[in-house]
Amino acid sequence: MARSLESYKSHLAACDQPRRNDLDGRGQLSEEALAEFAEFFFGICIDQVDFLEGSVQPDTLRARIRAWAEEEIRLGKLPEKSEGMLEAILQRGELARGDAAGVVNASDRQARRIFSALLDQGVLISENPRSPLRLVFPAHLASRWMPGLFPERKAW
């Protein structure tokens, strides 16, 4: 809307104009102007959805998250099988702590180590020690997981 502020204001103001003729709706105000505003507004919405889809690239988001996890494992910052747990959470939306060991084919202790490390990295969240694990998108990984969506941070 900010890029089309004048057009937005003129379309919105036109909605308050009186009915133009007998074919312009049944009320006191112009239904035709309201339809034009709706068309303009939904055009802006579609433009924004297209922009976000192109920026986030949902088809490759899973691959970028998985590549990050594999790199962190190689660097020793995450335990083995961390990418498997992230993959399960991406597929399910959330993961019950009790299901974690089965998902990564590990002992309960190893599964706790994995999700604790992911919680420490800020990529998982849980409301309390018994609630399910969910993926979050931490700001420090935004440019890595969703390149082009957020500007790079520059050191001054």
Alpha helices in 18-147 (DSSP H): 31-56, 58-74, 82-92, 100-104, 108-121, 142-145
Digit-by-digit pLDDT tens for the chain (156 residues) are 778 889 988 888 887 777 776 666 666 777 888 888 999 999 999 998 888 777 777 778 888 999 999 999 999 999 999 999 999 999 999 999 999 999 999 999 999 999 999 999 999 999 998 999 999 989 888 888 887 776 666 655
Q: What pTM did the predictor assign?
A: 0.65
64 and 43, same structural domain? no
Return d(Cα 15, Cα 10) in angstroms, integer: 9
Structure tokens at 156: 């001054």
104 and 36, same structural domain? no
Structure tokens at 88: 């399960």
40 and 71, same structural domain? no
62 and 49, same structural domain? no
